[in-house]
Structure formats: C-alpha cells, structure tokens
A and B are shown apart, each in its own frame.
Chain A
Amino acid sequence: MSVPVIAVQGLCKSFGSQRVVDGLDLTVERGRIYGFLGPNGSGKTTSIRMLCGLLTPDAGSGTCLGFDVLTESAAIKRRVGYMTQRFSWWEDLSIEENLRFAARMHDLREPRRVVDQTLERLGLSSRRRQLAGTLSGGWKQRLALAACLMHQPELLLLDEPTAGVDPKARRDFWSEIHALAREGLTVLVSTHYMDEAERCHRLAYIAYGKLLAEGTPAEILQTVGLSTWIIEAAPASAAAELKDRPGVEQVVPFGLRLHVSGADAETLAASVSAYAEHHGVVAARAESSLEDAFIALMRGRGSP
C-alpha cells in the first residue's frame, strides 16, 4: 500500500490560550506499530483524539485510513478501534452487556457470537455477569482492549493501554498486537514504558505539543547522539560529584551502577575518565538507552 494509514500535517489544538498540540506531522504506514511518547501533558491524548474525530483541530489537515480527519470522522470511527486512557466503559453494565453494546453499535452481523468469542478469548466467560466497575484495574484495561477489537478495525489507537497491567499480561498484549500487525492492522500506541517503546517499529516523541524526534528506535538514538558511560560500584558521593563536571548532562543510578551521559562525547569521556582514575573505579562506554535519549531531548527543550 502506498497510501499511509495516517497522514496528517500541521495539526494544532489550543485549549484557551494554551497551545497543546503545535504543528504535528505524522505519517504511519500500514501494518506498523507506531509508538507515541512524551512526558505528561505533552499532548498525546489530544493528538489521538483529533485523529479519530473526537476533537476538531484548530489548524492542519490530513487523512486517516484515506478519510479526511476534518470532514469524514463518521467513516473513520467505523474503521478505528480507540482505547481511551481512562477506563470509559460503563461500570454499571456487566462485562457481557458492555461488549454486546459495542457489538450492536458497530452493527456487527452476529453480535452474540462475537461477544461469546471475545469473552472466551479474554477468559472472562465465567465472569460475564460481573459489573465492569468491579473488575480490577488491569482487567478493566484488558476488557477495554478486547472491546475495541471486536469490530475488526483497520487502525487501533491505544492510549496507554498497558498502564497498571501485570508483566505477563503485558507481554501477551504485545504478542497479540504484533500478530495483528502482521495481518495488516496498524497500531498507534502511546506509552510511558521504554521496553514497550523498543518493541515498536517506529516512534514519535513529542513534548509541549511539538514533535521532537521521529524514526525507528535506532534512528532516534542516533539523532539524539548521546554517549553514555557506566561506572561500576560507584561510591555514594559519585552522583553529586559528577553532576557539575563539564560534558555531564545526566547522572542516573541503577542499583550500584551509575549511568553518566552527555551530548558532547569527548568532554564527557575526559570528565568520566578523570573521575574514575581519581577514585579508582571502573568506567566503561555503553550504549545509550531510549530513556536516556528522551530525557536528553526533554532537557534540550527546556520548560515552555
């Protein structure tokens, strides 16, 4: 397919005087899992809502599944599965009633069979009469995901789908997402988990409503151009001492190890080696992680 599933340019949205999304360009190809990252309040949820017609952009244009995001949101809604960040199914309806409602909303041909299959797949058949509001947080997420997959959408918009979900369920979730993507489903997923970011085909990182970096995880690491050193068995005072040395931008402890990174590779190398020699500790160059890269991106921007 040559036409991208999502192709929007210059999307803007303001609430009052606050510009929440500022000129967002996004292109997502079919069958891709596209990660959407950014600090709290950076405009991820707002962007996703604009893509599925829940918010009207102030400016910008583009298409979603080939339909105009400004004028054809009805057609988009029928082909998109949107999972909201906050649980938005009816807590006073049972699991089964919620699923049945969704099935009927999408005019599915055999709602009963689809609902039964979904319950089966979720392993919730025996609890179908339980009120959705009484489910645990993680199960609510799983119900919400299952519900927005029922009508076999072409595009999934997932807003922090795995927040509060246990590691096993999270792994299952990602396996399923990858399986669906292989069949041609496109997924846009926002997340704060770095391990999930690494499992995406491509990433977009936004802060203060602006797109700061875009590409595969490796490309993003390259653009940010961060170099990182790991100091083994660092003394407790190390972090405080290293912080103000030239070239050092981040000092993050991981247990007894210390990750020290900065954009200027040479100055950083000099500072770290000097420190290691002086204190007699081992320092080694390491690959930067996505997390280091994103934090560097955010610091580079400063506060709005």
Chain B
Amino acid sequence: MNAFSWRRLWAVLAKEFIQMRRDRLTFAMMVGIPIVQLCLFGFAINTDPKHLPTAVVVAEADEHVRRLLSAMEESDYFRIIAAPASVEQGQALLSAGEVLFLVRVPPDFGRELVRGARPALLVEVDATDPVASGNAVAALSNLLDQSLATDLDGPLVGLAARPGPVELRIQRRYNPEGITQFNIVPGLMGVVLTMTLIMMTGLAIARERERGTMENLLAMPVRPLEIMVGKLVPYILVAYVQVTVILAVSRFVFDVPVIGSVLLLLGCVLVFVIANLSVGLLFSTLARNQMQAMQMTFFFFLPSILLSGFMFPFRGMPGWAQAIGELLPLTHFLRIVRGILLKAHGLADVWPNVWPLLLFTLVVIALGAKRFRRTLD
C-alpha cells in the first residue's frame, strides 16, 4: 500500500546532502580528523622511540670508552646531548627530564676491561615511561657485547664473553625494521571510521529530534527504511573520502607498503562502514538528544580502541578482554587491513574476519529496526 518509494528516498538523500554541505564545520571535521590523527599517530606517537637524550659521565676517556659511546649513537636509540663533569650534575639532568639516560663510565673502565675484570657500566634510566626506555635498554646490552668484543682481539680474545649455548636470532617479519607506523597507520583507518561514522549517524537523527523536525518528518508519509537509507548513504561516501585520504597519506607520507589488493580492501571497507553506521543508527534510536548520542559514541569507542589490538597487542590481553575484543567490529577490521596491506591477504585469508562483521551488522540492524520509533512516544 505504502510501498518503498525511490523518489522519497531520493528526496531524503538530497536533503541530507544539502544539509551536509551547509554544515561546513562538520564536513571539515570529517576530512580533518583523519589527517590530524594520522599526523599525531604517525609522527608524534611512537612506541619504539629513538634518539633519546642521554648524558654521559666519563671519569677517564680512552679509546674503549670512545668506541662504546660512538656505538651507542650509531644504534640510533641514544643521542648524547651532555657530558656533565660530575655524577650529581648528571642526576640533576635526569631528574629534570632533560635526559632519559645517565651513563656512568667508572675510572679504570678500559684497563679493567682489558684485564678481563668485567668492569661495571652503570646506566641510570628514567623509567617513568617503560615503553620509552624498554627497547633502548635492550639495545644497549646487545651493543655492549658487540662493540667491545672488537677491542678484545689478538692476545685478549679469550676474554671476550663466551657466547651462550644457543644463539638467539630475532627475526621481525612483515615489518622487518619494526616501524610502528606500519602497524598504526593502517589501524588508524579503522579507528577514524569507527569514531566519525558512529558519531555522525548518531547525531544525524538525534539532531532532527532535538530541533523538532522529527515531528514533521514522521508526520509525512515516509517509510522508516527510506529515512534510514537516506541518512546512511551520504556517510558511506564520506567514509570513502576518509579512506582515500588515509590510504594516500599512508602510502606517500609514511611509505606504508600496500602489497595486497586495494580493491579487496575497499570492498571490506564497505562491510565495516555499514557495520559502524548501523551502530550509529541504533544509538540514534536510543538517544533523545545530540549530547546523549555523543556519550554513547564514546562509550562504544573506548573499548574499541583499547581492546581491538589497536593500542595494545591483542594476544597479550587476558582472555576476557580478548573475548570482548572479538565482539567489536574494529578488531576484525584491523586484522583485515593489516592483512591486506602488509601481508597481501586475499579474500580467503580475510574471510574469517569478514563474516563476523556481517553477522554483527545483521544483529545491530535488527535491533535498530526494532527500536526505530515511527511515533514520538
């Protein structure tokens, strides 16, 4: 009787596009958010920081010490910015946060090394942020063995530390240099889409309710499906603009390799986008105003960002956290994106993460359709 009408759908679409165009600030945000986040995570935030400021207190400089120091700088982890005369001065720098490491080379270091007396090299570390210093400390013990081993040749060769029974060789795969951006930048695509899409759709309907235009819309002979589809389609386009921006910046600014199929990626993006839009729609049926829609978005966003494997390694989380993570679309999307971009995954490889997204969408849309009020009750 009152069948689905393409003309009405088109009318809703046209209205949404006009409103989106007039709302310049929101539109700028939608393109701006991915760029800002990319810059923040790509340039500013680094879980494997290098060139950390270091102070060195050397009691007696000789060739061994000089070799040690230059090896430290060559490792890229340390940047020696000060050589205070006393330990107290060095500790003051450490306390002020101007340096993260204070390396103290005791007197007789070189001589005891040659004698094989295992001299102590004391390194004081500002461990307030363990992430910042962890890798550098690990690198330091490695580099001590290597750089000083060359000093102990000829008649001294017997003094070189005996290698352990097993030689440990760490091989970093997919990201051989362990560049964090390769992991984070593709992940950001999922994070940005989750945040902006859920928020935008949540707001789009809550706004109608808040401004009183919902009463007018519901008094018209329009079907809920026409309203929902009409409101969602514009955001699918927005999502693709965001994805394009992120992919371009990843490729050309951060040199993230794109070795998988971009087409497959864009297809998976559609599945993920619809999953998020349906969450936004569900929230908008629950929210009475825009403020509530925002709050619900953040309620969903927080676990998404913390438990999806974006912030912390997924397999390092306790079982219950992993179980929650498996329910979130972002978790699966991160695996898909990283799989396609870094591991050249094909459809068969990503499918185990695509069907959970489809299932999630189905459930959420069913809930949303049930909650969607045709009335003002």
A residues whose Cβ falls under 8 Å from a Cβ of B: 49, 52-56, 73-75, 77-78, 80, 82, 84, 86-93, 97, 100-102, 104-107
Contact = CB atoms under 8 A, between A and B. Distances in A.
Contact of A105 (B211, B220, B375, B377): B220
A54 B220 CA distance: 10
Given A55-B376, A104-B11, A78 B2 contact: yes
A105 B222 contact: yes
Contact of B221 (A91, A100, A106): A106
Given A93-B15, A97-B18, A84 B212 contact: yes
Given A90-B213, A91-B211, A107-B5, A77 B376 contact: no
Contacts of B214: 88
B12 to A, nearest CB: 8
B88 interface: no
A54 B11 contact: no
Contacts of B215: 49, 54, 84, 86, 88
A99 to B, nearest CB: 12
A105 B18 contact: no
B8 A93 contact: no
Given A74-B2, A78-B2, A105-B8, A89 B216 contact: yes
A92 B19 contact: yes
Contacts of A73: 374
Nearest to B9: A104
30 contacts: A56-B377, A77-B219, A77-B221, A78-B221, A84-B212, A84-B219, A88-B211, A88-B213, A88-B214, A88-B215, A88-B216, A89-B213, A90-B19, A90-B213, A91-B211, A92-B22, A93-B18, A97-B15, A100-B11, A101-B11, A101-B14, A101-B15, A102-B220, A104-B7, A104-B8, A105-B11, A105-B220, A105-B221, A106-B221, A107-B221
From A49, A52, A100, A101, residue with most partner B Cβ within 10 Å:
A101
A250 B1 CA distance: 55
Contacts of B298: none
| Of listed A56, A87, A90, A93, residue having the most chain B CB within 10 A | A90
A107 B8 contact: yes
Contacts of A90: 15, 19, 213
Given A93-B15, A97-B18, A104-B10, A53 B375 contact: yes
A54 B212 CA distance: 13
Nearest to B222: A105
B212 A86 contact: yes
Contact of A77 (B10, B22, B220): B220
A56 B375 contact: yes
Interface in B213-241: 213-216, 218-222
Q: Main SS of the interface on chain B?
A: helix
Nearest to A45: B215
Contacts of A75: 1-2
B376 A54 contact: yes
A91 B219 CA distance: 18
A56 B2 CA distance: 20
Interface in B361-376: 374-376
Interface in B340-377: 374-377
B23 interface: yes
A280 B15 CA distance: 70
A46 to B, nearest CB: 10
Contacts of B5: 107
Interface in B175-202: none
Return the 9 tightest CB-CB contacts between A and B, nearest first.
A104-B11, A88-B216, A105-B220, A78-B221, A82-B219, A77-B221, A74-B2, A88-B212, A86-B212
Contacts of B212: 84, 86-88
Contacts of A87: 212
A54 B219 contact: yes
Nearest to A74: B2
A107 B221 CA distance: 9
Contacts of A77: 219-221
A74 B223 CA distance: 9
A67 B348 CA distance: 54
